[in-house]
């Protein structure tokens, strides 16, 4: 069963993992239907944006992905053959 999301859910999640994403040189933002409409029956769109801060280490995409897999489990690559 797919989870529906609302703005409060999204904000709680972003606030819970925002600081850890900075360890890997990324800022976490909320987007998509939850941000624009306050809810989504399909998904929660999260955007990891590289920080542009010379006092911090450069963005570590591999480290971020490994941390997210540890947090949420394996992922599937989607692409040209992705179907709604």
Q: Where are the beta strands (DSSP E) in the chain?
A: 5-6, 26-31, 39-40, 45-50
The one-digit pLDDT tens for each residue of the chain (84 residues) are 568 999 999 999 999 999 999 999 999 999 999 999 999 998 999 999 998 767 666 789 999 999 999 999 998 777 666 555
What is the model's pLDDT at position 65? 93
Q: What Å distances lie between residue 75 and 6, 36, 52, 68, 71, CA to CA?
A: 23, 25, 27, 9, 11
Chain position carrying tokens 């360890």: 23
CB 6 within 8 A of CB 38: yes
pLDDT of residue 77: 76
pTM score of the predicted model: 0.78
* pLDDT of 56: 63
């Amino acid at each position: 069963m797919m989870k529906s999301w609302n703005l409060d859910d999204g904000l709680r999640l972003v606030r819970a993992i925002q600081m850890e994403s900075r360890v890997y040189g990324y800022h976490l933002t909320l987007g998509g239907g939850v941000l624009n409409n306050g809810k989504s029956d399909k998904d929660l769109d999260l955007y990891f944006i590289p920080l542009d801060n010379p006092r911090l280490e450069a963005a570590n995409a591999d480290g971020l992905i490994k941390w997210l897999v540890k947090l949420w489990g394996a992922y599937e690559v989607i692409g040209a053959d992705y179907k709604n």
